[in-house]
Amino acid sequence: MLTPKQVKTLRTAIENSQSPLFIHDDDPDGLCAFLLLYDIKREGKALMLKAAPKLDTRFLRKIEHLSYDSLFILDVPQVEQDFIDQIKTPIYWIDHHGPERPKKANYFNPKLNNPDGYFPTTYCAWQINPNKDKMWLAMAGCLADWCLPDFTKDFQKKYPKLLKKSQTKDIGTAFFKSKIGIISVLLFFMYKGSNNDVQKRLSVMRQISGPEEILDQTTPKGKFLWKHYAKTNKAYEYHITKASTCKTKSKLLIYNYIDSRFSFTSILANQLQWLHKNKVILITRKSDGKYKCSLRAQFPIVDALKDALEGLEGYGGGHPTACGAVVAEIDWEHFIRKFEENIVKSWPKKTIKKIEKKETTKTGPQSGTDLGTGTVSKKSISKKIKKISTKKPKIKKTKKIDSK
Ligand SMILES: [Mn+2]
How would DSSP label each residue in 380-403? G----HHHHHSPPPP---SSSB--
Bond preceding residue 99 cis, omega within 30 of 0: yes
Angle at 154 between CA 152 and CA 159, to 5 degrees: 90
Residues 8 and 58 placed together within one structural domain of the fold = yes
CATH label of the domain that carries residue 362: 3.10.310.40
Percent of the residues in the chain that have a pLDDT greater than 70, as a whole number: 86
Residue 229 falls inside a structural domain: yes
Distance 145 CA to ligand 1 centre (A): 6
Q: Do the domain assignments include residue 139?
A: no
Q: Are residues 304 and 259 located together in one domain of the fold?
A: yes
CATH, residue 126: 3.90.1640.30
pLDDT category at 383 given cuts 50, 70, 90 is very low
Give the total number of structural domains in the chain.
Answer: 3
Q: How many Å apart are CA 114 and CA 1, to the nearest integer?
A: 7
Q: Highest-confidence range of 190-204, 347-361, 373-387, by mean pLDDT?
A: 190-204
pLDDT digits (tens, 9 = 90+) for 294-333: 999 999 999 999 999 999 999 998 888 989 899 999 999 9
Q: Examine the pLDDT at 7 and tell me if it is beyond 50.
A: yes
| More confident: 285 or 369 | 285
pLDDT of residue 125: 98
Q: How far is the CA of 121 from the centre of ligand 1 (A)?
A: 6
pLDDT at residue 319, rounded to an integer: 81
Q: How far away, in angstroms, is 341 Cα from ligand 1 center?
A: 32
Q: Do 204 and 281 belong together in one domain?
A: no
Q: For residue 120, how far is its CA from the centre of ligand 1 (angstroms)?
A: 5
Q: pLDDT by residue (tens digit) across 177-203?
A: 999 999 999 999 999 888 899 999 999
**How far does residue 390's CA lie from ligand 1's centre (Å)?**
30
Q: What's the rounded Cα separation, in Å, for the pair 167 and 380?
A: 42
pLDDT of residue 259: 73
Q: State in Å: Cα 76 to ligand 1 middle.
A: 8
402: in domain: no
Decide if 172 is inside a domain.
Answer: yes
Residues 239 and 122 occupy one common structural domain: no
Picking from 217, 245, 273, the residue at the C-terminal end of a domain is 245
Same-domain status, 2 and 63: yes
Task: Tell me how far the alpha carbon of residue 404 lies from the centroid of ligand 1, in angstroms.
Answer: 9
Asked whether residue 237 is assigned to any structural domain, the reply reads yes
CA 100 to ligand 1 centroid distance, Å: 15
Contact call for residues 323 and 315 (beta carbons, < 8 A): no
Domain of residue 56 covers 1-130
| Domain end point (choices 204, 228, 245) | 245
**Same-domain check for residues 177 and 283:** no
Q: Do residue 363 and residue 294 come from a single domain?
A: yes
Domain contains 137 = no
In what helix (H) or strand (E) does residue 108 lie, and over which residues does it extend?
Answer: strand 106-108
User: Is the Cβ–Cβ distance between 126 and 138 less than 8 Å?
Assistant: yes
Q: Are 285 and 366 part of one and the same domain?
A: yes
Is residue 255 domain-shared with residue 229, that is, in the same domain?
no
**Residue 257 region by backbone torsions, left for phi larger than 0, else alpha for psi between -120 and 50, else beta:** beta
What is the arithmetic mean of pLDDT over 248-270? 87
C-alpha 248 – ligand 1 centre gap (Å): 33
**CA 88 to ligand 1 center in whole angstroms:** 26
Residue 354: its pLDDT value, please?
Answer: 52
Whether residues 269 and 354 share a domain: the answer is yes
* Residue 41 predicted with pLDDT over 90: yes
* 349 CA distance to ligand 1 middle (Å): 32
Residue 368 lies in a domain: yes
The residues, any chain, with a CB within 8 Å of residue 109's CB and separated by 6 or more, are 94, 95, 96, 97, 98, 99, 100
- For residue 31, how far is its CA from the centre of ligand 1 (angstroms)? 9
pLDDT band at 360 (very low <50, low <70, confident <90, very high): very low
CA of 7 to the centre of ligand 1 (A): 18
The reply to whether 4 and 31 lie within a common domain is yes
Whether residue 304 is found in the same domain as residue 198: no
Q: What's the pLDDT score for residue 349?
A: 82
**Tens of pLDDT along 209-242?**
999 999 999 999 999 999 999 999 999 999 999 9
Residue 403 lies in a domain: no
Distance 312 CA to ligand 1 centre (A): 31
Among 245, 268, 284, give the residue marking a domain's end: 245
Give residue 350's pLDDT.
72
